[in-house]
């Protein structure tokens, strides 16, 4: 559509500057010190949705951070797309590894460096600008609703209740999410699955106080050593996870599925080189893409205990801690897997320490059928703007609320992500290519167009 | 001696207040931010030595923190005791576990709570007050020299050079150190050995940047997991250390020695109860006192990596770190053991990570012969003031400079410690009983008296 192209071309600098403004708000949901920033960020999104042409926008308080809901209804009888995204971001630490401030967005080589640039402010804001494009060019062919939450990075603890209580408000024909990656601008792809999550924290207590490691060392269990032994026991020599029952509910991929996955362009040497490692690691019997796509994993996200400052301290600490998360695949159930993890730590705790394992958050794995109208509309939209059809791939990350939307609203979800795996999500120097940002704004109106057309024709 | 007793009794409140003043200086040698405090603390000790009656006191700069040297020479032909101690302290972290500020000394139930109260400001200051007592009562029977350094807690990196360059200045007949514990005020004891130390830091690098644990988890080695596996491999199921060659140079204790050690009053249940553990831990085949006294050990002093803040972050970190130290016994050599540790980590590093292990500091194990004049004088002094002869025991801690003094000055060292194992050395709420402080001040003049007498009579 030439009108879209013209409008976007005339407003591209403003589209970019508006995103930079949003990235300046440190909306870190995990840290209570950012509570006010969260509210500021929700207010900013509300304002932008109204400016983009939404009829109504409301901020719904929750027990945690608020949810921004907005809508543009042209005709209730027409197909409706519910856009889901999140305005919260991961903590920015370790701060010393950022080249520029995480909340001081900086453009280098056509890339926007900032926490949240890709995950997910940059991607959710593409949808706001797509709405604006459709409104300003009078070319809306269906209704668009927005549900932008502030707790995705902490496991969406309050979204479930909100969705269950607002089924009519959120009623739609599909959920559209841009919170994932594609292979590249040259090789578009669509995630057809996301992994689930079980995230726990483990606390190991040895002696009731920090001790002098010379006076007591060798006579009382060191909680760091014990924690290390427990962690070490979680993977065997083939990097299979050893927790009894861990793989019980995993749907084994068929040879056909695995053959299809193997067709996605992937070079193991380039992958290792990009990560700066001499050798890759993973579960024996599976390729790298299978390890991150169709297999569950167990990762250490953090560990600490004893003296971690400058210099040396001869302490035998009282406590050691770890943050550990499992990525889940169909048909693993987050609650069941979390219980399995927590019980496993209780079981393997030796008598000379106390082990406390507790839930951080979880989410269910999810698969999108490629024969759904939503997937087909997304595929056709990307084919239109990229010049080639996207490849369906299995993503490694988690969007905990997918299973929830399907259950509560009875609709399918499609993941049209415009990020790249190399965008340093959750890491220092997170970035989002401006070209990808614009490509998303260009593509999304086509999705709405095709989705309305296909739904009407069915 | 009644004169000593009277003098100390008349001045006891001042003796205590002066110590509290010294404890207010945060002389943390490991942290560069305390450089000025270190100088302030050295100046304070200089001033106090002069006030106590030392003829001359000098502050010797080093490449690190300065050394305070002072002396009271009554007659160069008389026996000379070199008192060694340190004015630096361990870092006070974790601060939140202190009931009161670590540098805001607080007296509760007759105990002084403060970092350095026992280790070692409180114990070294007993010697300053003992000097004052001898000077004020005109009862010095020999010469006393003081060498109070500021780097004991970081491995005394500059003391060796100082001692080698000032052999004449430091010339003495024995070294007297109060930087250790005794069993109790009811059961006096003297350490006849201290363990050596090899302290290293290990850095494990996986990918070249922090990664999203969903996108990359399962496909690239997690440095925390690898570090945990390496740590777990260091002890076998009997808690023997598995590093090849680790025990090669250990002098095996004779059955007689072990029988003597077993006579020291010790109750395993009380020990476990005091530490708040359900079960003790340690090398199979040895008692608790043997594990901390005659056996080398390997302890984790700190570990960190990934996200350690509030909430959850789904990161697969680039790096993980550990601080690890071995306690050494005769005839293990620190340098050799450090090399062994560093090389071991290089050897067990798997190909998908980079492991860098480096030295923090080290020190040699040391044994005092109980038939030495110095030991006999200490034993007789304690018998005089405690009413019973002290038991010789093997201490678990390390005083890295002992072997150095013996080598450079050709003299024996005696450890007359007045602390308790329960003094929370290197831990939050470090304390020193006022009764022990006064008992030290009471006992030390007798040491000087008996040492001079015995040396003359030899």
Cα dist. A15→A10, A21, A100, A265 in Å? 10, 10, 22, 32
What pLDDT, in 10s, does the model give residues A77-96? Answer: 999 999 999 999 999 998 99
Task: Say if the Cβ atoms of A225 and B396 lie within 8 Å.
Answer: no
Q: Which residue has the tokens 């680790």?
A: B246
Task: Say if the Cβ atoms of A299 and B397 lie within 8 Å.
Answer: no
ipTM: 0.82
Identify all chain B residues contacting A234, using CB atoms and an 8 Å cutoff. Answer: 225
The shortest CB-CB distance from B218 to any of A31, A283, A310 is to A283
Identify all chain B residues contacting A294, using CB atoms and an 8 Å cutoff. Answer: none
What pLDDT, in 10s, does the model give residues A126-161? Answer: 999 999 999 999 999 999 999 999 999 988 999 999
The proportion of chain A whose per-residue pLDDT surpasses 70, expressed as a percent, equals: 99
Report whether pLDDT(A320) > 80.
Answer: yes
pLDDT score at A457: 55
Greater pLDDT, A310 or B318 = B318
**Phi-psi group of B410: left, alpha or beta (phi > 0 → left; psi -120 to 50 → alpha; rest → beta):** left
- In this prediction the pTM is 0.82
State which residue of chain A sits closest to B283, comparing Cα positions: A218
Q: Which domains does chain B have, with CATH numbers?
A: 2-194+365-457 (3.40.630.10), 196-250+296-363 (3.30.70.360)
pLDDT score at B457: 56
Helices (H), B57-216: 121-136, 159-165, 167-170
Active site residue A152: yes
What pLDDT, in 10s, does the model give residues A193-237? Answer: 889 999 999 999 999 999 999 989 999 999 999 999 999 999 999
Active site residue A151: no
Report whether pLDDT(B400) > 80.
Answer: no
Question: B346 in helix, strand or coil?
Answer: helix
* B292 in contact with chain A, both atoms CB, cutoff 8 A: yes
Average pLDDT (B430-454) is 97
Greater pLDDT, A397 or B61 = B61
Helices (H), B103-143: 121-136
What pLDDT, in 10s, does the model give residues B269-317? Answer: 999 999 999 999 999 999 999 999 899 999 999 999 999 998 888 999 9
pLDDT score at B269: 95
Identify all chain A residues contacting B395, using CB atoms and an 8 Å cutoff. Answer: 214-215
What pLDDT, in 10s, does the model give residues A11-63? Answer: 999 999 999 999 999 999 999 999 999 999 999 999 999 999 999 999 999 99
Q: For an interface test with A, give the residue of B315, B318, B353 to mutate (most A CBs within 10 A).
A: B315
Report whether pLDDT(B208) > 80.
Answer: yes
* A396 in contact with chain B, both atoms CB, cutoff 8 A: yes
* Distance between CA atoms of residues A39 and A174, nearest Å: 28
pLDDT level of residue A257 (50, 70, 90 thresholds): confident
Q: For an interface test with A, give the residue of B302, B318, B352, B421 to mutate (most A CBs within 10 A).
A: B302
Average pLDDT (B169-195) is 93
* Least Cα separation, residue B2 to chain A (angstroms): 36
The proportion of chain B whose per-residue pLDDT surpasses 70, expressed as a percent, equals: 99
Q: Which residue has the tokens 């499992």?
A: A326
pLDDT score at A26: 98
Provide the annotated active-site residues of B. Answer: 88, 152
Residues within 8 A of A (CB atoms), B 431-450 only? none
Identify all chain A residues contacting B235, using CB atoms and an 8 Å cutoff. Answer: 225
* B209 in contact with chain A, both atoms CB, cutoff 8 A: yes
Residues within 8 A of A (CB atoms), B 353-392 only? 353-354, 360-361
**Catalytic residue of the set A37, A151, A152, A153:** A152
Contacts of B105 (CB under 8 A, 6+ apart): B19, B20, B23, B24, B112, B113, B114, B117
Identify all chain B residues contacting A281, using CB atoms and an 8 Å cutoff. Answer: 219-221, 352
pLDDT score at A67: 98
Average pLDDT (B347-357) is 97
Greater pLDDT, A166 or B312 = A166
Report whether pLDDT(B171) > 90.
Answer: yes
């Amino acid at each position: 559509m030439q009108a879209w192209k013209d409008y976007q071309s005339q407003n591209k600098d403003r589209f970019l500057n508006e995103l930079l403004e949003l990235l300046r708000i440190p909306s870190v949901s995990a840290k209570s010190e950012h509570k006010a920033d969260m509210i500021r960020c929700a207010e900013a999104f509300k304002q932008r949705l109204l400016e983009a042409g939404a009829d109504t926008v409301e901020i719904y308080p929750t027990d945690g951070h608020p949810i921004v809901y907005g809508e543009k209804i042209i005709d209730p009888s027409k197909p409706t797309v519910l856009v889901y995204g999140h305005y919260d971001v991961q903590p920015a630490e370790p701060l010393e590894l950022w080249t520029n401030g995480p909340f001081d967005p900086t453009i280098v080589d056509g890339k926007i460096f900032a926490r949240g640039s890709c995950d997910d402010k940059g991607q959710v804001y593409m949808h706001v600008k797509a709405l604006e494009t459709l409104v300003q060019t009078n070319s809306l062919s269906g209704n668009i609703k927005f549900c932008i939450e502030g707790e995705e990075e902490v496991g969406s603890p309050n979204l479930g209740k909100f969705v269950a209580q607002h089924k009519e408000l959120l009623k739609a024909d599909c959920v559209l999410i841009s919170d994932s990656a594609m292979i590249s601008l040259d090789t578009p792809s669509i995630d057809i699955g996301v992994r689930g999550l079980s995230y726990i924290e483990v606390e190991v207590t040895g002696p009731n106080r920090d001790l002098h490691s010379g006076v007591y060392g060798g006579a009382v269990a060191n909680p760091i050593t014990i924690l290390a032994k427990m962690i070490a026991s979680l993977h065997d020599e083939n990097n299979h996870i050893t927790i009894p029952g861990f793989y019980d509910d995993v749907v084994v991929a068929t040879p056909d599925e695995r053959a299809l996955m193997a067709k996605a362009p992937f070079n193991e040497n380039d992958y290792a080189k990009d990560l700066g490692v001499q050798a890759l690691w993973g579960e024996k019997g599976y390729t790298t893409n299978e390890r991150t796509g169709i297999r569950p994993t167990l990762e250490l996200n953090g560990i600490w205990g004893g003296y971690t400052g400058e210099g040396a301290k001869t302490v035998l600490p009282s406590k050691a801690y770890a943050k550990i998360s499992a990525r889940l695949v169909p048909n693993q159930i987050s609650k069941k897997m979390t219980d399995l993890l927590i019980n496993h730590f209780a079981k393997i705790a030796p008598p000379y320490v106390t082990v406390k394992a507790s839930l951080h958050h979880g989410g269910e794995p999810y698969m999108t059928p490629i024969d759904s109208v939503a997937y087909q509309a997304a595929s056709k939209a990307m084919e239109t703007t990229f010049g080639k059809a996207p490849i369906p791939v299995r993503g490694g990350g988690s969007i905990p609320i997918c299973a929830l939307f399907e259950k509560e609203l009875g609709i399918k979800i499609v993941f049209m992500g415009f990020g790249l795996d190399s965008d340093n999500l959750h890491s220092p120097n997170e970035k989002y290519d401006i070209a990808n940002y614009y490509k998303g704004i260009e593509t999304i109106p086509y999705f709405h167009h095709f989705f309305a057309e296909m739904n009407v024709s069915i």
